[in-house]
Amino acid sequence: MFANLAEKLQRTLKNLRGKGKLSEKDVDAAMREIRLALLEADVNFKVVKDFVASIRERAVGQEVLSSLTPGQQVVKIVHQELTRLMGQEQSRLATAPHPPTVIMMVGLQGSGKTTTAVKLALQLKKGGRNPLLVAADIYRPGAVQQLEILSQSVALPCYSHSGATPVEICTGALKQAFREGNDHVIIDTAGRLHLDEAMMQELKEIKAAVKPAEVLLVVDAMTGQDAVNAAAAFHESVGLTGIILTKLDGDTRGGAALSVRAVTGKPIKFVGMGEKLDALEPFHPDRMASRILGMGDVLTLIEKAQTNIDLKEAERLAKNLEKNKFDLNDLLEQMKQLRKMGPLETVLSMIPGVGGKISEEDAALGEKNLRQIESIIYSMTPEERSKPDIINPSRKRRIAAGSGTKVEDVNRLLKQHRDMQRLFKQMTGKTGSKKRRRLPLGGMGGFGPGNLPF
């Protein structure tokens, strides 16, 4: 996500930070680099023009050029302008004054609309809501069955009506929601391979019949400018209230995320960060700007930790640490907790001072090494995991053979484990419980910055 754009922006701004004093010539050179980086990221050219002009106007002001840290001032301006470009602050879902709140999901085929509808419903369910999904796409083969199967997989109700029109399905779903007490109704409408008048007319009729509080456009971030063009067309015809960008975890240049708000004037409300049904995140413009500029995203990292980390397991580990006990079972459990938070590259990108320095190759190597460590530990007996000191040369050879690794790999893991034990012993010391509160992410073991096992 934004890998190339982030790298180029960070490099340009690093050059500015290295200068003791800035001239207009320095600013102009940096603006050219930023302009090229944004255009290569497939950001709308009009958006790029306005964005760069706004930064330059602020950057050549007397306050910046005469500052003792002009480079840092420019970085601050770029961060503020990026945040403004993407929407300034998080935009939450609207709620109808009288339930149920109706949410229409619209978009082209292939954008991930059906899966995103389930992701959104699951997020609402986790927040204590009682959503109902509605299968109103009667044209795409298998669309109704797909929504029903995905709904069942996460225990969500789904309304469908064979032989009815989309408008009849939606009005029927509203009646059921009133009867069953569903407070949100999420409608998966039909898409097309291309924009056409028939699709837009059907969406207008559904909107008139159910009066939705939200009309959310689901767009594929991988499509770049096509996503922006689709957003503009849907907004003109149907009237959007927000946008959900999918596949932002893929090899996307990020142009859609930076352009779509400026072009439509409508906020990005959520972003899809993976295939799993829980991989939908609220969109925070300021946090995304920080990640693009390599400043990390500590708040999202904390939220992910709070959502995915087992508090009982964290407390158990903390008690073990108080007793200076940290065996390979603990290490394996902490790796599982880390994996729940998403791909390693995504987690690292949120750590200030780390994300911008970790390449895709490094992250891939880290993932590979984590899998290798898991294989080695799983090849051990329960006694070996709890008492690593008993692992002698013959046991190491057996473990290496069982895990498809080398004895050197087993030795490296055991050394890392001993290093982590020493680290925790120093952290807990004599004050035990007081110091363990300082452990990162509720006690995530040695997986803090600089302690990742790769």
What superfamily does domain 101-295 belong to in CATH?
A: P-loop containing nucleotide triphosphate hydrolases (3.40.50.300)
Q: Which range, 167-171, 232-236, 290-294, is most confident?
A: 167-171
> Which pLDDT band, with edges at 50, 70 and 90, does 302 fall under?
low
Which amino acid, residue 197?
A: E
Q: Check whether 300 has a pLDDT greater than 90.
A: no
pLDDT at 391: 93
pLDDT the model gives residue 170? 96
pLDDT over 70 at 430, yes or no: no
Confidence band of 454 (pLDDT split at 50, 70, 90): very low
Q: Which of 102, 86, 114, 134 is nearest to 215 (CA)?
A: 102
Distances (CA, A) of 428 to 240, 312, 324, 431: 54, 19, 8, 6
The model's pLDDT over 308-336, given as tens digits with 9 standing for 90+, comes to 666 676 676 667 666 667 888 888 887 87
pLDDT value for 337: 77
Taking the complete model, does pTM exceed 0.95, yes or no? no
Question: Residue 248 pLDDT > 80, yes or no?
Answer: no
Phi-psi label, residue 388: left if phi above 0, alpha if psi -120 to 50, beta otherwise? alpha
Q: Among 89, 68, 64, 81, which residue's Cα sits nearest to residue 9?
A: 81
**Architecture category of domain 301-442 in CATH:** Orthogonal Bundle (1.10)
Q: With contact defined as beta carbons under 8 Å apart, do 141 and 167 qualify?
A: no
Give the per-residue pLDDT at 288.
82
Average pLDDT, the chain: 81
More confident residue, 117 or 193: 117
- Bridge partners for 217 per DSSP: 106, 243
Distance CA 431, CA 422 (A): 16
pLDDT over 90 at 148, yes or no: yes
**Cα 70 to Cα 20: distance, rounded to the nearest angstrom:** 7
117: tokens are 């509808």
**Once rounded to an integer, what is the mean pLDDT over residues 205-228?**
88
How many C-beta neighbours within 10 Å does residue 311 have? 10
> What amino acid occupies position 304?
K
Q: How far is CA 265 from the centre of its chain?
A: 22
Q: Which CATH architecture has domain 3-86?
A: Up-down Bundle (1.20)
State yes or no: pLDDT of 188 exceeds 50. yes
Write the single-letter amino acid at 167: V
pLDDT at 227: 78
134 pairs with which residues across the strands?
A: 159, 187
Query: CA 18 from chain center: how many Å?
Result: 31
Over residues 240-268, the mean pLDDT reads: 80
pLDDT digits (tens, 9 = 90+) for 433-450: 444 444 443 333 333 434
Q: State how far the Cα of 40 lies from the Cα of 58, in Å rounded to an integer.
A: 24
Predicted confidence (pLDDT) per residue in 350-404, tens digit: 665 555 555 555 555 677 888 889 899 999 999 999 899 999 999 999 999 999 9
In this predicted structure, what is the pLDDT of residue 24? 83
pLDDT band, very low/low/confident/very high, at 69 (cuts 50, 70, 90)? confident
> Can you give the C-alpha Rg of the chain in angstroms?
26
User: If pLDDT is split at 50, 70 and 90, which confidence band does 4 have?
Assistant: confident
Q: Look up residue 429 and give its amino acid.
A: G
Cβ(185)–Cβ(177) under 8 Å? yes
Q: For the beta carbon of residue 97, count every other beta carbon within 10 angstroms.
A: 6
- Two tokens at 26? 């320095």
Query: In the chain, what are the domain boundaries?
Result: 3-86, 101-295, 301-442
| CA separation for the pair 243, 271 (Å, rounded) | 9
Distance CA 210, CA 178 (A): 13
pLDDT for 452 equals 44
Q: What pLDDT, on the 0 to 100 scale, is given for residue 233?
A: 87
CA-to-CA dists, residue 425 to 15, 282, 431, 443, angstroms: 41, 38, 11, 14
Cα of first residue to Cα of last residue in the chain, in angstroms, is 22
The verdict on whether omega for the bond into residue 449 sits within 30 degrees of 0, i.e. cis, is no
Burial 104-129 (b: 16+ CB within 10 A, else e): bbbbbbebbbbbbbbbbbbbbeeeeb
Whole-number Å distance between alpha carbons of 411 and 231: 55
Tell me the pLDDT band of 425, cut-offs 50, 70 and 90. confident
